[in-house]
Every structure is written in C-alpha cells, then in structure tokens.
C-alpha cells in the first residue's frame, strides 16, 4: 500500500489574471501619434501650382523666397501635358498664404552674367531657387 508521502501531487486551477491595463500604453501611443499627425496636417500652408516656360535647373526641395525670406518649398516639378512649359507645385508656409493671389510673379533665380549686369550670384554656392513678388489680385 502506498504511504502518505508517496501520494501523487494535486493541481489546483486558478483563473488567469486580467492584465487589460497593459494595453493602455500602446493605445496611448497610437492616440499621441494621431494627434501629432493631425497637428502637422493642420499647420501646412496651401499648395499652389506655378507654371513657367523653363525650369532652369529647379529641383524638388528648392526654397521659395520673398524678399530674402524662405516662404515655401517646391514639392513637385513636371512638364505640362501639352509640353509647352513646366508646372511646379509649391507648398507655402502657413503665414505666407497671402502670396497665393492673382498677379504674383514667380521666377527661377540663377546666376546671370550678361551685358546688362550680373545677378543671382548666391546661386553659385547654393542651388537655384524660386522667388516671388506678391500680387494684388484676388486670392
């Protein structure tokens, strides 16, 4: 006969502990990232399309300057569908949205040496960029 010390061990069942609160950390991270993305989208300025005959070496990422201050950035450059010029999509800074109006004049600044003078010398040390003179037309 088996003795008391030789008895088989007995298992007891306990319900699993609910650790639902652990999921609050990833949920809070997702909410935080969502808020950051929403703020980023809301702070973006308007996207305008500038059409020109020539690009003169303009590249994506080139700044848009108004009176020496960066007020936007070129996001995309493409040929027009009729191949008569180019279209540059420029994202304006939120505080420069007033430049998106009729009569604004845009041009590519590049180094220029001719009989009338010398200009755009700053593009010798940095890439070509867009410049703008604000117009007075409707937004």
Tens digits of residue pLDDT in 20-42: 788 889 999 999 999 999 998 88
Contact 74, 80 (CB under 8 A): no
CA distance 6 to 138: 97
Longest dimension (CA), the chain: 120
Residue 106 · residue 63 · CB < 8 Å:
no
Chain segment 84-97, per-residue pLDDT in tens: 999 999 999 998 88
pLDDT tens, 94-134? 988 888 888 888 988 877 666 776 666 666 567 788 899 88
DSSP annotation of 24: H
Residue 88 carries which DSSP code? E
Task: Give the CA distances from residue 72 to residues 44, 132, 135, in Å, rounded to whole numbers and listed in that order.
Answer: 10, 10, 16
């Amino acid at each position: 006969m088996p003795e008391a010390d030789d008895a088989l061990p007995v298992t007891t069942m306990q319900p699993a502990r609910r650790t639902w609160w652990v999921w609050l950390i990833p949920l809070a991270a997702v909410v935080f990232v969502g808020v950051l993305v929403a703020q980023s989208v809301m702070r973006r300025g308007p996207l305008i399309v500038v059409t020109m005959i020539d690009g003169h070496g303009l590249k994506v990422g080139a700044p848009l300057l108004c009176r020496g201050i960066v007020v936007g950035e070129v996001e995309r450059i493409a040929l027009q569908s009729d191949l008569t010029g180019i279209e540059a999509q420029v994202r304006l800074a939120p505080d420069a949205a007033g430049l998106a109006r009729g009569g604004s004049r845009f041009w590519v600044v590049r180094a220029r040496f001719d009989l009338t003078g010398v200009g755009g010398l700053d593009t010798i040390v940095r890439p070509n960029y867009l410049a703008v003179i604000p117009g007075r037309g409707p937004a």
